[in-house]
Amino acid sequence: MLRGIIVCAWAFATLASAAWAQDWPTESNADFDALLEAARAEGEIVIMGQPSLSEKFAAAFEADTGIKASFIPRGRGAERQRFYREVEADRLTIDVFLSGPTPFSLVEKDQLAPVRDMLLLRDLLAPEAWRGSALKWVDDAERYLPMPSIYAAGGILINTDIIDPASITSWDDLLAERMLDQVVMHNPARPGAGETLAMYLIDVKGEDFVRELLGNDRITLTSDYRQVVDLVARGTNPIALGALLANIQHYEDRGVDNLEIFWTNDVPGYVLGGGAVLAVPAGAPHPKAAAVFANWFLSQNGQEALALTQALPTDREDVDADLWPEYSDPRNRPELLNLYSQSWFFGTRLENRALLEGILAE
């Protein structure tokens, strides 16, 4: 409810602002002022990111900087190929790409610009600004792919009208005959949340567990994210694995109150960056505007705009935690594995993926 009121108030304030606000950045410096001036001369920035960012989030950037934000939506489909083809052909129209860790593959080819070098505002790298005393990065070198927002995932979503959370104390309980038929999971054979969860389960519960979970065709599989949550909310399948935060939030915001997500001790879960990892291609057509965006995105204003639009928890200490649901907040949960880290994404994950493919082929 509180979040709803905050969102409405913020949306009203954003829409009401005809010209950019003068209160950002709160603490500037000569270098940044010169950068902002040059960026305004470029006039525009082209952002590719999740479709939901194209409205209020983009408007907030425009209001704070006076730079027009044009948007190319990156759904869960083939659209991202456009970014990679533009980079490869060196004919870029996209200045900023908000995605997962995959652009890391461009680092080796010198096709990404180092975002760290663009950060001119003092507080962006200040230890006190970030939970854990530092901004997190996908790349171990901490130069190219900042990951300011992370959320807890890998839990079990249930319909509380039908399932008592106390009846599931470990994931092994899900393998019981009466439970398996009630489970819906995002299809692990397709890229996405179900696949990620299955690869993580191989790590913490072992191959045999995943084989038993998926191998008997008892659980319902769907490749539609909305349907994963929808089936739980309706009680058709009151237990879901691989549900997305955005979809759960969609139902809760509209008054559906029988959803609960929880974790068990044997599978503590993991954190993801919510498709909000920032990548700036080398040779972006509006490099100054891209640099201003990087400064804004990692600032309190940028992270607040992101949290308000997507209900994504941020690591920034100065953004109100009421903007996202408590269950998605990873703070005080050090046991969560970071699946957006370079070591997991480009190491363990690939090994587990091969194992998963073997299990699915059986």
Partner 1 sequence: MPETVTQTWLNGRRVAAIGPVVLLSLVGLLALLPVAVILPMSFGLVGGGATNTLSADGYGTVFSESDFSRSLTLTTALAVRVPLGVVVGAWIAWLIVRVRVVGSRIYEFTLWFIFFLPNAPLLAGWILFLDSDYGLLNVAARGLGLNPLTDIYSVGGILWFQMVTNTTPIAALLLIPAMRTIDRVSDEAARVAGASPFRIWRSVIMPAVAPTAIVAGVAGLTRAMESFEAEQILGTPKDLIVLPSLIYEYVLDETPLITEAAAVSMFFIALMIVLTVAHAWLRRGQRQIALRSDQSVDPTDAYGARYRMAAGIGLGVLFFIGAGIPIGMLIVGSFMKVFGFWFIDMPFSTANWAEVLTGRNLSNALVTTIALGLAVAIAASLLFLAVAVMLRSGGPVLRTVVSGLIWLPWAIPGIILGLAVLELSLSAPVAWLVYGSLGPLIFAMLVRDMPLAVHLFSASLGQIDPDADAAARLAGAGPLRRFFRVTAPMIAPTIVVVFLLAFSSATKDVSSLILLAPPDAMTLPILTFQYLSTGAFESAAVVGVIAAFIALVMTMLALRVMRALDPSA
Q: Which residues bind partner 1 (CB under 8 A)?
A: 15, 46, 50-52, 54-55, 59, 70-73, 75-79, 81-82, 84-86, 88-89, 91, 93, 102, 187, 189-191, 221-227, 229-231, 233-234, 236, 246-247, 250-251, 254-256
Q: Are strands 239-241 and 156-159 parallel, antiparallel or unpaired?
A: antiparallel
The DSSP result for 106-145, as a single string, is: GTTTT-B--GGGG--SGGGG-GGGBGGGS--BSSTTSSS-
* Amino acid identity for residue 82 in this structure: R
Q: How far is the CB of 295 from partner 1 (least distance, A)?
A: 21
Q: Are strands 337-338 and 270-272 parallel, antiparallel or unpaired?
A: parallel
Q: How far is the CB of 6 from partner 1 (least distance, A)?
A: 16
How far is Cα of residue 257 from the mean position of the Cα atoms in its chain?
A: 24
Q: How far is the CB of 71 from partner 1 (least distance, A)?
A: 6
Which residue lies nearer to partner 1 by CB, 132 or 191? 191
Which residue lies nearer to partner 1 by CB, 91 or 333? 91
Which residue lies nearer to partner 1 by CB, 32 or 151? 151
Structure tokens at 307: 């949290």
Closest Cα partner for 180 from 108, 237, 98, 251? 237
Which residue lies nearer to partner 1 by CB, 14 or 338? 14
Give the whole-angstrom CA distance, residue 217 versus residue 181: 9
Which residue lies nearer to partner 1 by CB, 58 or 319? 58
Q: How far is the CB of 126 from partner 1 (least distance, A)?
A: 33
Q: How far is the CB of 226 from partner 1 (least distance, A)?
A: 3
Structure tokens at 109: 């080819």
